Amino acid sequence: MRRRLLQWPTVDVLIREVVMMSKSRSRFDARVGALLAAVILGAVGATYAYLAFVSSRTSVPFSMVLIFDPQIAANHVELYSKISYSLSVVANVMTAGAFGNTSHLIVLELNRMAEAPRTNSSFLVVRGPEGWHLESGIYVIRENSTVVVAGRSEEDLAMAFDRLLLCLTGKYAIDVDPIGQYLVVEVPGKGHKVGIPWLSGRRINEVLGVPVFGGTEQDAARTLLDGLVVNG
């Protein structure tokens, strides 16, 4: 599915969208700084070089772009390493291997956001723990093809990311393993089961309490994976 040419989801636009969502929950502080993502480059960092390749192609493959603030990431290396790895696993599983094959996961620092593909792309911004004053959760901004995952503490951010995993896996999520390290899912169209790294250690019913603003969990999945999810 080819997306239209995107108008850049600038930091100011993302701030405005998220603050508007939060106003309906007036008990939360509406002060919010620039939306910065927090993911560690790790194993998927090498895909950054793919940008030059994409720009030279007439047909642009679909890309999910992770945007991060390296200063925040440096303070929470273990958590963000787990986030980036788990995201790469769930994207691959739920798209039948499309990511890394016909689609790509790209990681960018915030100040290089303008280098991301302008067509056929979605954006994942991971925010916190520092500087996040709104409610922890998932914020879906469909008009900018953007999902923000945010937490006011490491524990909150881990739970918010696990909530995103449940959004992306949907009906294929079965349970968390007994020691809380993996989300067991059925591979769409295949039938066998695999484990996706699970960050919070909490049970599914607890994580389902993390709110999704601006849309449904299906909207979050569609926004990020652009309809590439395989239906069994």
Q: Angle at Cα 88 formed by Cα 109 and Cα 65, nearest 5°?
A: 35
Per-residue pLDDT reduced to its tens digit, 54-93: 444 446 788 999 988 888 989 999 999 999 999 999 999 9
Range of lowest pLDDT (68-82, 100-114, 172-186, 196-210): 100-114
Give how many domains the chain has, as a whole number. Answer: 1
Range of lowest pLDDT (34-43, 75-84, 102-111): 34-43
Could you list the residue range(s) of the whole structural domain that residue 57 is in? 11-152+211-225
Per-residue pLDDT reduced to its tens digit, 132-166: 999 999 999 999 999 999 999 999 999 999 999 99
* pLDDT at 17 (0 to 100): 57
Whether the per-residue pLDDT at 195 is higher than 60: the answer is yes
| 144 domain residue, yes or no | yes
Q: Rounded to 5 degrees, what are φ and ψ at 85?
A: -70, -45
Beta-bridged to residue 124, according to DSSP, are 66, 147
Whether the per-residue pLDDT at 185 is higher than 70: the answer is yes
| 4 domain residue, yes or no | no
Per-residue pLDDT reduced to its tens digit, 2-37: 444 444 445 445 555 565 655 555 443 333 333 333
Token pair of 156 as six digits: 């909150």
- Helices and strands per DSSP (H, E), number in the chain: 7, 9
| 193 domain residue, yes or no | no
* pLDDT at 20 (0 to 100): 60
